[in-house]
Structure 1
């Protein structure tokens, strides 16, 4: 710790205003609806027509699951007119201490050492105010640290907004591409059924473009096979094959090849299970229906015993199936077929009966290219978000401990 940093008890950094909090039952809040934020442990939970506070303050969640999980910010700043219930500690920065700096300082701490209760974890006010923090004596230095970290937050927020935008585009695109498709002669979406009824026909899946047909997965598959079962003792760092488990999938249906475990197995016994480029791998337990397309690697891969390998014929683009499996229509069919249990199970044979609308191959390819372009943008933003969050985490550790000095 640098010489210009000092140990200060929280009670000397902030004034606690918990005594001014007033909880309002939901049925009462319904009668006093307004535009003023009503805060709880993790943020705004309602809006009312009156206020308790009208200043810059720090809220720190007092109780609830988030005290332990920290899935949401535990400490955050509020300003202007507001009402706070009794599930958040209300703190006001004392003279000589910057509110934003204190928010980062409080958010960076692990409170498990003072949490009481198991069913309902709670940060007791008395224990909280006795905590000791290292802080710079200089207000200007506190403000400089807060500015650096707030700049990181701004970048993170912009990236999260971009991700939200792309996800919204994805949902709209899925609906359009799998109900209207693309006119390959123009490269544009077909007009909707309401705009050009003559381009559509009735089917058991509703109105579909005249060029499409309704079929089953089974009609176009040439292979379908569960992964082999083998002993956990067969996993070996110097093995000859990797196994794709459900945990080796991203939620968007990408395979995390590097993290898949290696096993030493008799090649002659697993030969039918070895994946080829373009094979579909579908999870049948837990994340039932989650689908990825295998791309050739430097080592052989097989699917786990809780996944099925499907190989479609030359009339189907495998990526078309991957994206199709994320649509509402196919997800409904997945949910209808799941056998309920501890984790749920999707029989691989039921998947062969799934109904889908099949365009010609050239149109499938056009649809896939649209999705790939969007997913690449989405993945780039998600990758950037991960990097920014790690950067902020590192900066918080360095700047809030004085490990890295900042100029005033």
Structure 2
């Protein structure tokens, strides 16, 4: 091993800057003023940072360049033998375009590395490495929106083993990615099946064998003793100044709408509130089984708060405390079903971001079967959720494995035979 600017690497490896030694770094281009991207497919796709994932492009919402301005941005295309890296907004998203998007136009918020003189996948994985992540964190431009300058990418250092070893490292990491992809496709398949089951059985369109009794329809207001949210005044006057970022013994997790979904509650949050302050607001103190629903920003999200531990809610979260806590799980599942989602978004308020009012939540109607049928359906849904969670745990396991492999293989701590 030898000591270098990036740390210890094998003595037979080189270190080179991306430009001019590895490839050429070029920026993307925005549309000319007065033009907008189109949802109508044509032969000129446009890749935004929103479409970029680590390692690949999400093709689910690709936009297209209007025919009349194609020539203006013709030179800002990316090809399947290039590597992209996002340089504004979300920094450091790295990957390559699929063959279907070969020759797509690239956003001005990303750069491409073209004319690559080493293994393309090896370079891509190195740009995903913890070393490069630290470089990005230390060199990004601070402002309203963080940016990563073109010149800084050109000066990134790359450790270079022989071509044969580059190929072997890239192939090994690609194999792990392929395994992760298999699990992700299986999860997507199971989620689609789950959505279909929810549509049939939570709406009453299809009944489980042996059940024929008529369902009741109740509003959330009728089912609850309390439907409320945090007030802006309380937040500004006392709650916000009291928040801390460390989970001390005398604090409770401060749940935001990104911290819950379905059966999942993330108690390892960004902020915590002292118990002495939280207890002053018992209506939004989470110390019993209740329903959480996002009412600002990420609307459509709902969760069962199972009271494994106490917590406190942020301002974008509505809280519904039920007369009968046995109905909370059913109400959560219905709100997440296709019919429930339709009802939520029909009540969406226009504005800078998506919003619901507490009154909207109170008026939501929930169809409710008799207890035995309700238990049978919720048990079926819980089993499906368990299967999905087990697959997600496998994905996390392999992602952690891959992260360790990248650290070892890309710096030569472990050599492939």
- Shared fold by TM > 0.5? yes
Deviates more, 1:328-337 or 1:141-150: 328-337
Counterpart of 1:233 in structure 2 is 242
Q: Which has the larger radius of gyration?
A: 1
> 3-state SS of the aligned residue for 1:324?
helix
Q: Identify the match of residue 294 of structure 1 among 305, 308, 323.
A: 305
The separation in 1 between residues aligned to 2:122 and 2:91, in whole angstroms, is 21
Show the counterpart of 2:18.
10
Q: What is the rounded CA distance, in whole Å, between the counterparts of 2:277 and 2:45 in structure 1?
A: 63
Change (3 A) 1:102 1:349: closer
Alignment partner for residue 329 of structure 1, among 339, 346, 353?
339
Q: Distance in 2 between matches of 1:139 and 1:179?
A: 59
Question: Structure 2: 5+ residue runs without aligned partners?
Answer: 1-8, 36-40, 66-74
Asked whether the 8 Å contact 1:276–1:294 carries over to 2, the reply is no
Tell me the equivalent position of 1:278. Answer: 289
State yes or no: 1:309 paired with 2:286.
Answer: no
CA contact (8 A) 2:80 2:98 kept: yes
Q: Does 1:134 align with 2:154?
A: no
Q: 1:244 to 1:368 in 2, by over 3 A?
A: farther
Quickly say closer, same or farther: Cα 1:331–1:398, change in 2 above 3 A.
Answer: same
The residue number in structure 1 matching 2:389 is 379
Asked whether the equivalents of residues 339 and 345 of structure 1 are also in contact (C-alpha less than 8 Å), the reply is yes
Deviation at 1:368, TM superposition (A): 1.0
The 2-side partners of 1:226 and 1:131 are apart by: 48
1:58 match: 82
Aligned residue for 2:387, secondary structure, equals helix
How many angstroms apart in 2 are the aligned matches of 1:309 and 1:227?
12
Helix, strand or coil for the counterpart of 1:369?
A: helix
Deviates more, 1:263-272 or 1:246-255: 263-272
Counterpart among 343, 347, 359 of residue 369 in structure 2 = 359
User: Does the 8 Å contact 2:221/2:227 carry over to 1?
Assistant: no
Cα 1:75–1:355 change in 2 (3 A) is closer
In structure 2, the CA distance between the partners of 1:114 and 1:92, relative to structure 1 (3 Å rule), is farther
The aligned runs of 1:257-268 (5 Å cut-off) are: 257-259=267-269, 261-265=272-276
Q: 1:203-246 CA distances to partner (integer Å, 9 max, x unpaired)? A: xxxxxx8622333223332444546845433868342x635532
Mapped pair 1:407 → 2:416? yes
Deviations 1:70-103 (A, max 9, x none): 5785342777995465776463454xx4343233
For structure 1, the 5+ residue unaligned runs are 27-31, 188-208
When residues 340 and 237 of structure 1 are mapped into structure 2, their CA distance, relative to the original with a 3 A threshold, is farther
**1:195 maps to what in 2?**
none
> Is residue 238–residue 262 contact of structure 1 (8 Å, CA) maintained in 2?
no
> Would the alpha carbon gap of residues 407 and 182 (structure 1) be closer, same or farther in structure 2, given more than 3 Å must change?
same
Separation in 2, partners of 1:396, 1:216: 52
Secondary structure of 1:134 counterpart: strand
**Alpha-carbon deviation of 1:302?**
4.8
**Residue 114 of structure 2: which of 91, 95, 104 is its match?**
91
SS in 1 for 2:10: coil
Partners of 2:119 and 2:140 lie apart in 1 by 25
Q: Does the alignment pair 1:217 with 2:240?
A: no
- 1:394: Cα distance to partner? 3.4
Query: What is the CA–CA distance in structure 2 between the aligned matches of 1:273 and 1:38, rounded to whole Å?
Result: 47
Correspondence 1:76 to 2:117: no
The normalised TM-score by structure 2 is 0.67
Alpha-carbon spacing, 1:293–1:400, altered in 2? closer, same or farther (3 Å): same
- TM-fit CA distance, 1:256: 1.9
Equivalents in 2 of 1:118, 1:216: separation in Å? 43
